[in-house]
Amino acid sequence: GKKAWEIEFKNPTPYPNTPMVSRAAPSCLAMKEYVIAFFEGGLLAAVDKGGKLIWERNLVEEFGAIEARHGLAASLESDGDSVFVWVERSDKPYILAINPSTGADLWKADGVGSTSWGSPRILPVEGGSHLVCSAIGKIVGLDPNSGKRLWEFDGIANNSSNTPIPAGKGKFLIG
């Protein structure tokens, strides 16, 4: 129960809290070797289990401002080999797959193109898995190895903050 380590990061692009925007929305991802965190200001960083910084990236500097109706909200997802970062913003939304050891991009794909306060989820399907993202009026499935959009469903409403939950092979629950 004792604190093992602590590390602080400076927010490169602070944005004020509002009823719709919280700097604490994305959750970090604990992996076997690393803890990877994504912050509202666009900072993405990996720390080893001893608290030593492994790598750090400023996604705002790399890809532009993160301006979205709900602010940045998506937590990170991983399939064990890649970490998925979803930036659903007003202009040119995107999804990144990165190498957790180096932080380097494996691929970059277009985002959903709609407001979201959900997180991407790896879901098992026949023969592998899909990376599924839910945003207002749309749910999309991507190939986690390439970022290629495999399918899109637009017959839905009221799904601005829903993260898909696995419900068996090829099935998920969203409420």
The owner of tokens 């666009």 is 42
Model confidence, pTM: 0.92
Task: Select from 32, 18, 115 the least CA-distant residue to 74.
Answer: 115
Order of strands, sheet of 121-125, starting from the edge strand that comes earlier in the sequence = 121-125, 128-135, 138-142, 149-153
Q: Is 81 left (phi over 0), alpha (psi -120 to 50) or beta?
A: alpha
- One pLDDT digit (tens) per residue for the chain, 175 residues: 999 999 998 888 777 777 666 656 788 899 999 999 998 888 999 999 999 999 999 999 999 988 876 677 789 999 999 999 999 888 899 999 999 999 999 999 999 988 888 899 999 999 999 999 999 899 999 999 999 999 999 988 888 788 888 888 888 888 7
Confirm if 94 and 110 have CB atoms less than 8 A apart: yes
Q: In sequence order, what DSSP letters do the residues of 110-136 get, joined into one string? A: E--SS------EEEEETTEEEEEEEET
How does 144-163 read in b/e, with b if 16+ C-beta sit within 10 Å?
beebeeeeeeeeeeebbebb
